[in-house]
A and B are shown apart, each in its own frame.
Chain A
């Protein structure tokens, strides 16, 4: 005979003011199985929990119902109270009479009281069917996978590896470094981006705990937290990295010229190339789309000039598997394509460039040797117009969010322009200056004072050509007049947009993403680096627009999370998973197909005691099952049940009112 104890919480005034708690207790006492019912001001407090512990012992309770706040809030607290009293913690049920009753029916005390009693009746009925469950411990593979080798990925990999945890760093391009490697100087201190980044890149390559897989992509992730298995495609580089010395003879002699992605297409690279001089690893790869040897079978110059014989045209893509316990996603961002801004003449006028192109131009190792030039005629521009918020904060044409870094880097660009072309003048069209951050506001002020740049508040409305100049038309909202600025060069601060393959990657990893393609964190404030899927973490612009300090901070945060996850040898796992009753299982395998985690396999068991003949039944892998219950609902012979949410428990709840 079940002996249920009911503890109704006042939650101060939160429940007490809107629900007649003593009446609810009286109502609970009328339930046949309830042997003990009491109210208390705060059941979650220490005396409240002591009350539960005492009642369990004195009243010989077989299950406990706490009527209080949401089980998502204090279920763990009360479970602990149960186990402290020597009772199995899964014999607890929580009736959510705060979020689901007192808070949402504040104007109708009678209805709220009645509903609370109903909710308690349901919880009592469910608790009678509760079974003793025990936590499952699963082994943990102490190796982390970092996807993306930009500054966020590099920082995460280094921090995790410094804790002596092996890291696999996967980067899709031939070198790590990401967007930061393309930058010239960084705000607000103007330190040279390469100077602070490349030592970290070298650290990654030489770190004993980091396995660097450049020119690779993750194509599959199976398993669950602590026990993932990743399949990684190593794209054929056609160069044997083990013997290649990175001497560069091959790319000097290669006759094929291709637009250089690293320099935003401003100059050309060869078909065999290393993206930039400080690349890590500093080994070339052959671009199979453009190499004439790979397309037509003619040429082969690189193989002839290579003294080490490292070129191998027969190389194939290779799939490698790695067992890992946690994943850090740091895929970064793309620049938003400003095509919808037709009035700016994007694509028609050569002298309109985006900020990253400008950044490459002013970079000392850039295609123009550190001097900005007009793409149309190669002349050094005198009047440069910077337009901020191209795409950002524009619901009509672009995207709603603020890209966060454009105000800062445009201020930086005016300074760089001033340094490189002394007699130039910068005009900046802006909506607001958003310079929140340490030293940021000061930096913008400094840039304005040093360069004397003209800041015009308002969106540029039109750009047209006049001779070889561009005329930028816009409104200066501060004087309320239309202004026209003659420009040699126009630089668009295009928005940060999520990396284009993010949705595909998210599906592959089983995590969610927002309407733009930014990957979603588990909680916007309190769990900003975790995803809803255990063991997968986010760092950098893959989650939202961020500057370098924020990306680095978040990357270090993921490292802390990964180290925490790997602190023990085993992980405790929720026992609320599915179980198969072999007696009833007919072996139809519907459940095998429906399981999102491939947790169900089949096994052969004897037809009956003493039989030699075998029959097929489903078998659930305890470690893999996450307890969604898809298999339970699909099973037509009712052979599968989900611990903690059994058919019996739910039906009990339904009929209890």
Chain B
């Protein structure tokens, strides 16, 4: 029941807003130190190329991600957020990524409720060995956010 209600609420985002031609989205990548950050390092070591829109923040575990970080990013600097942790069962801290996963589901509903498009915030599992996967994830997220358009422009128009 609850989810139905939330889905019916109309997004405050305005997809018809056109981005300037040279606009590039900024994506905040919040990566856990042991899997995803190591995976992103491997992407670099393997010289796998991906779009330059992501800005990576290192945290010890995906369970450290406070929904506050995601909301603050969208409010201030980023057009999208990627949170990435270890694969389920592989958490360096035993069970942290399970908490992250549950918290993330709730956060996503909250963002949806507030009116952000749900693709603005994405979650992925990237292990320390998955350099190629990290590049693919970044490419996909960047593509998704580019389709959604800028968040900041919308704010300026309405402020």
Contacts and interface: CB of A to CB of B under 8 A. Distances in A.
Interface in A92-112: 96, 98-101, 103-108, 111-112
A172 interface: no
A657 to B, nearest CB: 5
A474 to B, nearest CB: 37
A169 interface: no
A111 B60 CA distance: 28
B37 A103 contact: no
A98 B44 CA distance: 7
Given A627-B60, A628-B96, A642-B64, A651 B69 contact: yes
A115 B55 contact: yes
B55 A633 contact: no
A596 B55 contact: no
Interface size bucket, B side?
35 or more
A106 B63 contact: no
A633 B104 CA distance: 12
A512 B89 contact: yes
Interface in A600-654: 626-630, 632-634, 642, 645, 647, 650-651, 653-654
B66 A647 contact: yes
Contact of B40 (A99, A106, A642): A99
Interface stretch (B4-12, B70-78, B117-125): B70-78
B103 A633 contact: yes
A122 B56 CA distance: 9
B69 A532 contact: no
B1 interface: no
Contact of A645 (B26, B47, B64): B64
A528 interface: no
Interface size bucket, A side?
35 or more
Interface string B41-71: 1011101111010011111110111111100
B90 A512 contact: yes
A594 interface: yes
B63 to A, nearest CB: 4
A596 B69 CA distance: 22
Given A72-B41, A111-B52, A628-B60, A654 B99 contact: no
A532 B90 CA distance: 10
Contacts of B41: 70, 72-73, 96, 99-100
A450 to B, nearest CB: 44
The list of the 4 closest CB pairs from A to B, nearest first, reads A99-B44, A629-B64, A628-B93, A111-B52
Interface of B: 24, 26, 28, 33-34, 37-38, 40-41, 43-45, 47-50, 52, 55-61, 63-69, 72-73, 76-78, 89-96, 99, 103, 135
